[in-house]
């Protein structure tokens, strides 16, 4: 039987001058991956950490400046307690384990979300790794933890209102840059490429403001099966798109 050969994107095929400055990933499908194999969900999450490592290393190697990973949403608190506890434990052990990889690859760790709601053990490990990688400058890896975009926007509105009330900012001066400065993502550029694995085609409360003009890429691959190759495929697809930002095609070329 004739099977068409699918040409895989080689790292050399990627245009290094047209790399996304900021890639964000909704790492989805751990539970289904485990279920397909007759395993418990926790094993899916465990295997997901391998994809995290591979993706982080691949992005750093390529020269991606910012990678943001959706690891735990505000809505994920509603999962069974056992699963939440497993995820929090996995986070602590991964942070402990990966600090070496981050240092070796000159990667700076950062976190966004309503971090005070995380267990103290997670917060401690997180702040240790953030502190010890703060001078690294090859790539910024941001973990979205207890993150919800609506919560972030709500928090932004509250912070700005307090400043208006205290005459630190005047209402007339509120512009997009003021809003950016008050978001959890304050130092990050807008997302260029948003990847979601597992076949779901939704945003699930992730970076609503920051993805205003991102290119969206959905793949059926479940997160624990996601490899460098899939990342290259996504970037290759991104590089084929024409980003017009409201202009005409003629204006762009």
The contact pattern for ligand IPE, residues 85-124, with x = CB under 6 A and - = no contact, is --x-------------------------------------
Identity of the residue, 217 or 238, whose beta carbon is nearer to Mg ion in the bound complex: 217
Segment lying near ligand IPE (by CB under 6 A), choices 51-59, 99-107, 129-137, 194-202? 194-202
Give the residue among 48, 43, 98 at the shortest CA–CA distance from 70: 48
In total, the chain counts a number of residues equal to 253
Could you say whether residue 226 binds Mg ion (CB under 5 A)?
no
Among 158, 202, 220, 244, contact with ligand IPE (rule: CB under 6 A): 202
Question: Residue 196 in 3-state DSSP?
Answer: strand
Cβ closest to Mg ion, residue 72 vs residue 232: 72
Question: Shortest Cβ contact with Mg ion: which residue?
Answer: 28
The pair of structure tokens assigned to 81 is: 């307690």
What does 76 interact with, of ligand IPE, Mg ion, none (CB < 5 to 8 A by kind)?
ligand IPE
Give the tokens for residue 209.
């403001």
The reply to whether 222 sits near Mg ion by the rule CB under 5 A is no
Return the number of the residue (160 or 206) whose C-beta is nearest ligand IPE: 206
Determine whether 76 is an active site residue.
yes
Q: Answer yes or no whether residue 125 interacts with Mg ion by CB under 5 A.
A: no
**Residue 24 structure tokens:** 């964000």
Catalytic residue among 13, 30, 47, 76: 76
Q: Which residues fall within 8 angstroms of residue 204, CB to CB, at 6 or more apart?
A: 26, 28, 70, 73, 75
- Which of 211, 151, 246, 223 minimizes the C-alpha distance to 23? 211
By CB under 6 A, residue 73 contacts ligand IPE: yes
**Of residues 10, 13, 15, 28, which has the active-site annotation?**
28
Distance set, CA 184 to CA 82, 111, 115, 130, 222 (Å): 28, 8, 10, 15, 28
3-state secondary structure of 170: coil
**Active-site residue list:** 28, 76
Q: Which residues bind Mg ion (CB under 5 A)?
A: 28
């Amino acid at each position: 039987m004739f099977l068409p050969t699918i040409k895989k994107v080689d790292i050399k095929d990627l245009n290094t001058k047209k790399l996304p400055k900021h890639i964000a990933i909704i790492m989805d499908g751990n539970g289904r991956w485990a279920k397909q194999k007759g395993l418990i969900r926790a094993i899916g999450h465990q295997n997901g950490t391998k994809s995290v490592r591979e993706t982080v290393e691949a992005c750093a190697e390529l020269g991606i400046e910012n990678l943001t990973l959706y690891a735990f949403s505000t809505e994920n608190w509603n999962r069974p307690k056992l699963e939440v506890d497993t995820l929090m434990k996995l986070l602590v052990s991964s942070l402990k384990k990966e600090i070496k990889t981050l240092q070796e690859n000159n990667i700076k760790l950062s976190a966004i979300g309503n971090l005070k709601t995380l267990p103290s053990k997670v917060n401690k490990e997180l702040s240790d790794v953030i502190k010890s990688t703060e001078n690294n400058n090859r790539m910024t890896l941001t973990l979205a933890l207890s993150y919800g975009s609506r919560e972030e926007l709500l928090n932004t509105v509250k912070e700005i209102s307090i400043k208006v009330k205290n005459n630190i900012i005047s209402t007339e001066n509120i512009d997009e840059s003021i809003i950016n400065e008050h978001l959890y993502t304050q130092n990050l550029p807008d997302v260029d490429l948003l990847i979601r694995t597992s076949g779901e085609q939704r945003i699930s409360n992730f970076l609503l403001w920051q993805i205003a003009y991102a290119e969206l890429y959905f793949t059926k691959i479940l997160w624990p099966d996601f490899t460098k190759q899939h990342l290259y495929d996504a970037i290759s697809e991104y590089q084929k798109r024409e980003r017009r930002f409201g202009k005409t095609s003629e204006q762009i070329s």
